[in-house]
Amino acid sequence: MIDFFPGGNGYRDAFMAGRAGMIVDGSFAIGSIRAGTKAGWGVTELPRRTLGGEPSNFGSYWVHGLTVHAQGARRDAAIKFLKFLTSEQVQRLWLQQVGELPASRKLVNDPQLAADALYGPFIRGLAYARATFFVDESAQRQVLVDAVNEVVVNNKSPRQALDEAAAKEQKILDEFWKKHPAK
Amino acid sequence: MSVPQLRLGTRRALWAYTFLFVPLLFYIAIRLGPAFSSLYISLHEWNLISPSKPFVGLQNFRLLARDPRFVQAAVNTVRYVLVGIPVQMALGLAVAVLLQRINRFRGLFRALYFMPFVTPVVAAAWVWQWMYSESFGPLNEILATVGLPLQPFLRSPGQALYAVAAMIIWQYLGFQIVIFLAGLEAIPRVYYEAAEVDGASGWRLFRHITVPLLNPTLVFSVVYGTIVFLQLFTQVLNMTFGDQGGPLAGTLTVVLYVYQLGFQRFMMGEAAAATAVLFVAILGITLLQIRVLSKPVEY
């Protein structure tokens, strides 16, 4: 239910306002939920489909990068800045303020962090998480949003909606790889 | 250096041209220039972040013709016009005629009707999104109170387009009323008086005097309103923020799709091609409307 609750982050706002009892969200939401939620709340790993079944999780990530235009002294400065951004000190601050898991093995393997009631479940979930390689994120997102709506609004069978979504997504991927052959 | 003596009239004209030149330069730089460069871009495969931008002829236009989302956006845009314009014209004219009949509080009513037009569009769109909310909105609360079934409004691919069109009609109604009022005021009273002496009244006065003499105003209102609907973007984006143009592309417009192609997927070539299609459509529809609707009236 994409627009269950009005607003830009409807589902999260609904949770913070006490209108939704449970949401699926990323660790990046911890900061705003902690700041805006009055009721008690907690975090747990995603449920499994069957009791004792295979756990599944989606791990999104984003990367810092250098563009081809960064050359010479600018490139050196950019590398220095990236090193600063990924340093333990900055990543710890980022974690505390935003809640996003640090891109630092040292911090992720920190036993104190793994035992944390809020961050712990996210870190345990990382062990079996898969990441999607997006070639056209907004188009790929649209495919899944439409599939959910086909089921919720148009009463299509989930199996059929998912099959159709898979075919559409495959087409986007095929077109991308046709244009950008893997080296 | 000696300055040749110019006549006063010539000097004045030169001054005027000098001042007109500055906005013209600005207009060329930020309006005409980009318009032509977008035509150029539409003939290229122009990924914003790819260094190579090869010429591909009309391929972008062919891709659009085969793209179900673009076709849906074009069909939706036409539906917005077909739904919105008749309702907007009928309501605008009806309210204007009623306003013209009253003497007390006319200014107050006019101001109230005009208010939505000066309300910030984005804020208004978000308030409407709340009003339409399936589980939390006041509209469904009213329906529930009087015992009618709850409606999904923006959550339904069938209803969402009409829900958005209603917001646009509300927003532009005041503007249309003011234009119609000005047009009504310009019709000389003597025509009505003469017709009344001849025994005409009510509907016949409206049908044979008001409508024909209001024709230039009607043409302007229809053309202006149509362009507003053809360029629809901000209201749709903000009212369907989580799934912009949704659900299932039910509210998607051409301009919103241009934005998604160009600025979310960086496919500038296809976005520019869609813009070119929209430009030709707006130009064609506007010329057609002016041609078909304009009727010179002699009394």
- Answer yes or no: is pLDDT of B200 > 90: no
pLDDT of residue B4: 67
pLDDT of residue A61: 77
What band does B267 get if pLDDT is binned at 50, 70 and 90?
A: very high
Which chain B positions have a beta carbon within 8 Å of A10's beta carbon? 242
Query: For residue range B25-42, what is the model confidence (pLDDT) as tens digits?
Result: 999 999 899 999 999 999
Region B221-240: mean pLDDT is 95
pLDDT of residue A92: 84
DSSP string, A13-52: HHHHTTS-S-----GGGHHHHHHH--S-----PPPPSSTT
Task: Enumerate chain B positions whose Cβ falls within 8 A of a Cβ in A.
Answer: 51, 126, 129-130, 133-137, 152, 154-157, 240-243, 246-249, 260, 264-265
Number of domains in chain B: 1
Assigned domain for B45 exists? no
* B247 closest CB neighbour out of A7, A68, A153: A153
Assigned domain for B17 exists? no
pLDDT of residue B151: 93
Assigned domain for B22 exists? no
Give the Cβ contact number of residue A94 at 10 Å. Answer: 20
pLDDT of residue B246: 81
Q: What is the ipTM of this complex?
A: 0.84
Region B232-242: mean pLDDT is 94
- Answer yes or no: is pLDDT of A4 > 90: no
Whether the CB of A167 is below 8 Å from some CB of chain B: the reply is no
Quick one: closest CA in A to B245, which residue?
A142
Assigned domain for B42 exists? no
Q: How far apart are CA A177 and CA A141, in angstroms?
A: 18
Residue appearing with tokens 């024709």: B215
Contact of B249 with B72, CB cutoff 8 Å: yes
Which chain A positions have a beta carbon within 8 Å of B51's beta carbon? 68
Q: How far apart are CA B157 and CA B247, in angstroms?
A: 5
Query: For residue range A136-162, what is the model confidence (pLDDT) as tens digits?
Result: 999 999 999 999 999 998 999 999 999
Size of interface A-B (CB pairs under 8 A): 56
Assigned domain for B243 exists? yes
- Answer yes or no: is pLDDT of B6 > 80: no
Which chain B positions have a beta carbon within 8 Å of A4's beta carbon? 134-135
Which chain A positions have a beta carbon within 8 Å of B264's beta carbon? 138
Which chain B positions have a beta carbon within 8 Å of A150's beta carbon? 248
- Answer yes or no: is pLDDT of A103 > 80: no
Assigned domain for B46 exists? no
Query: For residue range A31-86, what is the model confidence (pLDDT) as tens digits?
Result: 889 888 888 999 999 999 899 899 999 887 777 788 888 899 999 999 999 999 88
Residue appearing with tokens 């014209």: B89
Query: For residue range B114-134, what is the model confidence (pLDDT) as tens digits?
Result: 999 999 999 999 999 999 998
- Answer yes or no: is pLDDT of B299 > 90: no
Full domain range(s) for residue B102: 65-293
Assigned domain for B34 exists? no
Question: Could you check whether the bond before residue B247 is cis, i.e. omega within 30 degrees of 0?
Answer: yes
Do the chains contact at B136 and A5, CB–CB below 8 Å? Answer: yes
The type of residue at B52 is S
* Domain CATH for B193: 1.10.3720.10
- Answer yes or no: is pLDDT of A21 > 70: yes
